Structure 1
Amino acid sequence: MGKSRSATVTCAYLMQHHCITPDEALAQIRQARPLCEPNEGFWKQLELYHSMATPKEVDEIPAYQRWLYQREIELSRACGQAPEAEKIRFEDEHVREQGGAEFELRCRKCRRRLATSQYLITHQPRPNTTAIATPTTTPTSPSCSHYFLDPLSWMKPELEQGKLDGRLECPKCKANVGKYAWQGMQCSCGDWVVPGISLAKGRIDEVKSRPLGSGTAGVGVGMGIRLPPSNEGGRRTGVGGQGNL
């Protein structure tokens, strides 16, 4: 009695109060009570708490919210049901999109952007038993026929229907671009991803993201305006001397 749950709470307190790791906290506790051993689920929560820098309040932290969402998915999966519509976490509504995404995923038919690389879920292809396999931590590899990703807001009309599985259509041209299965889906590389929300590589183009300030939309944002040769010595004021254009 008291070797798992109470030890976990004490570890969390020591981590928050003394800014130490879960291992260091447990080592301190075991000096007084050697049998203490948080179970696997509690230990993962301690590691998550440490990765969040042990805040006093966790409710509004994205990493904790994602953990709650994953718990909801696990409970729904155990019951053989899709998660309730109001509990689905559409990642692009919670995370501000970063300009550092490596690439975009676009519908091959109409070129509509469906996702960026920041929403891809990393999975581990299973090693090939007949050849020397090189482990990878990239979101997708040549052996994968799908891109797995978080739920995104354009998927709402389909995912909120409460079905266990189905197909995903491009919101612009209605082309079939992928599929989903709340119970999980096996990638062609052999790994099992839960939940399985995927875009088929054969129906998607991977386009390298443009850096901020590029293209016509980026004029004046990091690139500036090219002046005629007569003005290269300095910017002239606008009409009536109202300042730079």
Structure 2
Amino acid sequence: MLQAEINMKKSEDIENPLSVEEIEPRLYLGNVTAATNVVFLKNQNITHILTIDSFPLPAFVASSINIVTKYIQIADMNREDILQYFPSCIEFIENALKDPKNKVLVHCFYGVSRSATIVIAYLMKKYSLSYQRAFERAKSKRCLVQPNHGFAQQCKLFHKMNYSIDPCCKNYKIFRLKLAAEQVKFAKILPMNFMDLLKPDPAIIRENPEPFVYRCRKCRRIVAAKSNLILHKVPKRNENFDSPISRRRESEQKYLNHLAGETSDQDAIIDITDKILSTSLSDKSLSEGKEEQPKTQKEEDVEICNKFYFIEPLLWMKDVINNVEGKLYCPTCKTKIGNFNWIMASKCLCGTQVFPSFYLVPSKIDFSNVVQNILQVTI
């Protein structure tokens, strides 16, 4: 062991004393001090280490003992995409524990958020648990467990996708679009690792075309398929959403409620936050452990908005790669058919704000049934 590494480890041990607990038989969750303490690793017969941290383990750990390691580089920040690593990390743990002689240590710097998130995701999949139940199970073994809010939401999304990553899941699409938007905000271009967000051009002839599509009203070119839609709900107060009278009445009612003590500070914070961070992906849509209740026909009629067609980005939208905002033109006749914005929310006529947004204006688009059209031509 190099002297510099020894001095660094001693300094970390003082600030971050060894902390580790056994969450499951032969599965440990701890901090970096535990993962770099060779004596501890030998005494506990640790055979595998999964590092979820900003830096990999020092070289002396792997060279001192015969141990299998896996490293995931990630910061403990709400907007980090830890969800993408769930499948590979879970597989690493599962494969290691197949041998009854093996023991796995999962760690980050403190063993509180990043590594805890991975262990929770493992418990969720292994026992088909909701996030909350898996969280409580892990916390009962290690009281320090506390994933940050963003990681907790990603665990809930993992549960919603049945413990896998489903690229067709609406909430997953929105989640990744938001991650991409954060990158575009600073880089001003769409990073290469998000190019998969650009879905295939629906106008390309394929063996099994989607039956329901949206066409440019002027030249009839297909510009989107029904599966490309990102639906949003109409606000409950839809009729007079933006009328001055309704806004005044709402303000007056809030003021009266405040005087009566009916409005809490928390409600005010939530109200302000909702306005600042307007989004079509709400925490409620990922609510823990609650199955969506069947909707009545009346509820379905008023919930889904069709005033604007918000869609996922498509390959024919060339400008979305190198611009943060702009107009969408039909790739054939060049007619303006919509707009896009990576960094600002776009407000639908129903009042909902969607971010990021790629939308087609209904007056420029026609909905049609491809199969029906083919049959008509054939006949």
Whether 1:185 and 2:321 are equivalent positions in the alignment is: no
AA of the residue aligned to 2:182: E
Residue number in structure 2 paired with 1:104: 213
Q: Secondary structure at the match of 1:114?
A: strand
Scaled by the length of structure 1, the TM-score of the pair is 0.67
Instruction: Pick one of 11, 15, 18 that aligns with 2:127.
Output: 18
Which has more helix, going by share of residues?
A: 2
Residue number in structure 1 paired with 2:198: 90
Whether 1:207 and 2:368 are equivalent positions in the alignment is: yes
Aligned residues: 205
Residue number in structure 1 paired with 2:180: 72
Matches of 2:332 and 2:239, distance apart in 1: 43
Residue number in structure 2 paired with 1:29: 138
Q: Note the aligned Cα RMSD (angstroms).
A: 3.6
Scaled by the length of structure 2, the TM-score of the pair is 0.46
Please give the residue correspondences for 1:57-206 in structure 2 after superposition, counting only pairs within 5 Å.
Answer: 62=167, 66=173, 67-77=175-185, 79=186, 81-84=188-191, 87-88=194-195, 89-92=197-200, 103-128=212-237, 136-138=302-304, 140-141=305-306, 144=307, 146-156=308-318, 158-160=319-321, 162-183=322-343, 184-206=345-367
AA of the residue aligned to 2:338: G
How far apart are residue 71 of structure 1 and its match?
A: 1.2
Instruction: Pick one of 149, 154, 166 that aligns with 1:45.
Output: 154
Q: Secondary structure at the match of 1:168?
A: strand
Structure 2: which 5+ residue stretches go unaligned? Answer: 1-109, 242-298
How far apart are residue 20 of structure 1 and its match?
A: 2.4
Q: Secondary structure at the match of 1:92?
A: coil
Seen in structure 2, the aligned counterparts of structure 1 residues 182 and 169 have a Cα distance that, compared at 3 Å, is same
Q: Secondary structure at the match of 1:53?
A: coil
4+ residue segments displaced more than 4 Å = 63-69, 96-101, 129-132, 134-137, 211-217
